[in-house]
A and B are shown apart, each in its own frame.
Chain A
Amino acid sequence: MHIRTTIFEDNKALRESLRQLIDSAEDMVCVGAHPDANNLLRELKADQPDVVLMDINMPGTSGIDAVQQIHEHFPAIRIMMQTVFEDKDKIFAAICGGASGYMLKKTPPPKMLEAIRETYAGGSPMTASIASKVLEMFRLQQTMGKREFINLSERETEILALLVKGKSYKSVAAICYISFDTVCTHVRHIYEKLHVHSKSEAVAKAINQKLV
């Protein structure tokens, strides 16, 4: 059972090396590698991947727009964003658009494969910066009196607060006296809540209001 992976990356060297890396893994196969997302839907229909690696900075259709399209037309596909820059705002926009997680390009290759497996399995890696962004948005919402964008439970806010501090899922589990899996589930719920509004207008609104 191979994890079918498609790559969208404009840097040729990286695209090719990623393809080779994925193919070298036993449990994965690269079913497509594209330099841009301009013919996204057609290509995905042909590739039929389980996981998509999407570069944020691409010429033509931006990574963020692409994520929204994929989430709309192929909701089953898990999307992982890739970026050189730790641009919180863009990443957050991508997540709101439907991405399941993100990966910095400086990540060591073995960790990259791990991340792909995690994403396929339904995990949603969340780093401190993203967690802080989610919390920020949540709080901003509250002061404006509207909870339309995201409604976090207390537990979820707690976990986010710990993640903001940079604690790993393991530490969070230890501090909150819950299991590692529970932490992952909570984080997944948070992502889902963010995804609920992955329709273009909502994300565009969020981008306009807060993120850009």
Chain B
Amino acid sequence: MLPFRRAVSLSIAILTFIQLGNAQNAWLDSLRMDLSTQREDTNTINTLLFLSWSFQCCYPDSGVAYALKAIALSEKINNDSLLFSSRSALNASLDYTGDYPMQLDNTFKGLSLARKLNTPYSDGYSTSLLCEFYYNIGQYDSSMVYGRKVAWAIAVYDPEIVPMAWILLAKLFTGTGHLDSAVFYSRKALQHLPATRKKAGSDNQFQSLYSFSYPIVGNAFFGDHQYDSALYYYRLGEIKAEPIQHFLDMMDDYTGMSETFHVLGHDDSAIYYSSRVLHNYTLVAYPAAKLKAATILANIYESRNIADSALKYLHVATGLKDSLFSRDKMIAIQQTAFNERQKQQELASSQAAWQNHLRTFGIIFTIVVLLVIVGVVVAQRRKKQLMAMRNKIADDLHDDIGSTLSSISIMNELAKAKSPEALPLLTTIGENTLTLQENMSDIVWAVNPGNDSMNSVIERMNEFANSILESKNILLDFDSVTSVSSVRLSMTQRKNLYLFFKEAINNAAKYSNARLVYVLLTKRDHLISITIIDDGEGFDPDRIVAGNGMATFRRRATELNGTADINSVPGKGTMVKLEFKIT
């Protein structure tokens, strides 16, 4: 029962910790001294974690103690990520000490913490907690489910140490009895293990990957009845584990060797190795390995009919088993597992209820929205239909009026030829008719919403000015700023601007005798300004009779909430200006 997470966590530990090498007691002692003098902060926690990991592979109960301290401190300073690391460290040591209820509790706490942290690392790690726990209590199939997830996570997030993922799979397959796969993955892992050298950092760390992996490989081959290979790997494991004092791995190697020798019939060797496990590692809290060793010894002595030795080791085994799998402990484990499942179910059902709620609400909401949309669309369509009808009526009316006016104009013209003496009257009729036609045309143009851009206005102004001024041989220079062409005007604005312009041009054409008319249309912020200048006779502003012209200018300006300016110097010219604001 080995922690496979260790390899994964090693790559994390490497980042934060220094050499996990030869745990020299003196050095550790000095570290312990540092602890007592340090203030309680992240440095302390990191040191505690370092100690926990250092002891985890040889004296796991010390590993547990330090991990617990780290947990307490992390909770105190409310650091979630350090808390998670602490819980992971605790689990690693608990794997060996065999305190499974505590491990279950720690696992679930780690899981909820991982959910909170929500990083791929915490996710993968917490899955491995579950995987380990199920493996430890013998539920290999459940363990496999999580193990696959962990292996996948390693392959995705830390592909450099993917051989350790394969070792994990090998271990799990050995547990579920798929020995072919176990052997396959073992071989694959060993083949690619040298490639992790870079990730491992130091030599010792690299060694520990081997020290950890060989017993697992040995177990795989043992399970597949390849006993010679199994022995071979156990021996390799011993060679790797001894220099770096990974007692736990060594115990695994020895129990593996003992079991293999027992199966092969070399009971003396089997006794030798199992005895080593029980007697040389009294300080090491690894009851699972000792249980295995004791069981082997009991079996051997029983088969040799040496009753008292058999009984002695049977007692040892029973005692160990009790401490590992006492009835109370099993009940406690199952109770916690049950509670956890209850919680999950409640969560799931409340989520389902909530989703149902949301769905119903969503449906109602959608229906309401649809109804509203339909209502709006129908209303809009009605409005459009009404407007279209109105427009049609208006168009027909205009057409009728316009055509009839035109006919009057024509008749008038023909009458002029027939009755020369009525010429003055007829001319008046003609002019009035023309004015009427012009005005109607202007109104139709202004009312058309398609003409709301300044460009349309400029176009019309140009057309008008050109036609009027050209016949009087006055040059027109129409200038506008580019920023003004994008402006949109309301109906009133268009109408007033255009009519103002018309008035100004008409005046210039009629009275000024100018050679040139210059028009400038500008926009500054929200201020539109049009200036019409001519170089004609001008007039004396003081002496002008307030005829219709002046009043018209003022009226246009007022309607636009703007200002109109008229300036003239006799002999020099006239300037007419209109300014108004747009939103």
Contact = CB atoms under 8 A, between A and B. Distances in A.
Interface of A: 9, 11, 13-14, 16-18, 20-21, 24, 55, 57, 84-86, 104-106, 108-110, 112, 127-129, 132, 164-168, 170-171
B409 A108 contact: yes
The 7 tightest CB contacts between A and B, nearest first, are: A166-B462, A84-B402, A11-B403, A106-B437, A13-B407, A17-B407, A109-B413
A106 B410 contact: no
Which of A18, A55, A127, A166 has the most chain B CB atoms inside 10 A of its CB? A166
Contact of A57 (B395, B410, B440): B395
A10 B103 CA distance: 99
Given A17-B411, A17-B414, A86-B444, 12 more contacts: A11-B399, A14-B406, A20-B414, A21-B413, A24-B414, A24-B417, A55-B403, A85-B398, A104-B441, A105-B437, A108-B430, A166-B478
Interface in B398-430: 398-400, 402-414, 417, 430
B338 to A, nearest CB: 71
Nearest to B400: A11
A20 B399 contact: no
A128 B413 contact: no
B438 interface: yes
Interface string B183-210: 0000000000000000000000000000
A197 B417 CA distance: 43
B40 interface: no
A168 B466 contact: yes
A109 B441 contact: no
Given A106-B441, A166-B466, A16 B399 contact: no
Interface string B269-305: 0000000000000000000000000000000000000
Interface residues of B, number: 35
B445 A86 contact: yes
10 contacts: A9-B403, A11-B404, A57-B395, A84-B402, A84-B441, A85-B399, A106-B405, A165-B466, A166-B466, A166-B467
A14 B407 contact: yes
B252 to A, nearest CB: 75
Question: Is chain B's binding surface mostly helix, strand, loop or mixed?
Answer: helix
Contacts of A21: 410, 413-414
Given A17-B411, A85-B444, A108-B434, A166 B406 contact: no
B413 A110 contact: yes
Nearest to A56: B399
A142 B494 CA distance: 31
Contacts of A128: 459, 462-463, 466
B459 A171 contact: no
Given A57-B395, A104-B441, A14 B403 contact: yes
B488 to A, nearest CB: 18
B465 interface: yes
A112 B411 CA distance: 13
Given A86-B441, A127-B463, A167-B466, A105 B413 contact: no
Given A11-B399, A24-B417, A106-B405, A17 B410 contact: yes
Nearest to A23: B414
B470 interface: yes
B478 A105 contact: no
Contacts of B407: 11, 13-14, 16-18
B423 to A, nearest CB: 15
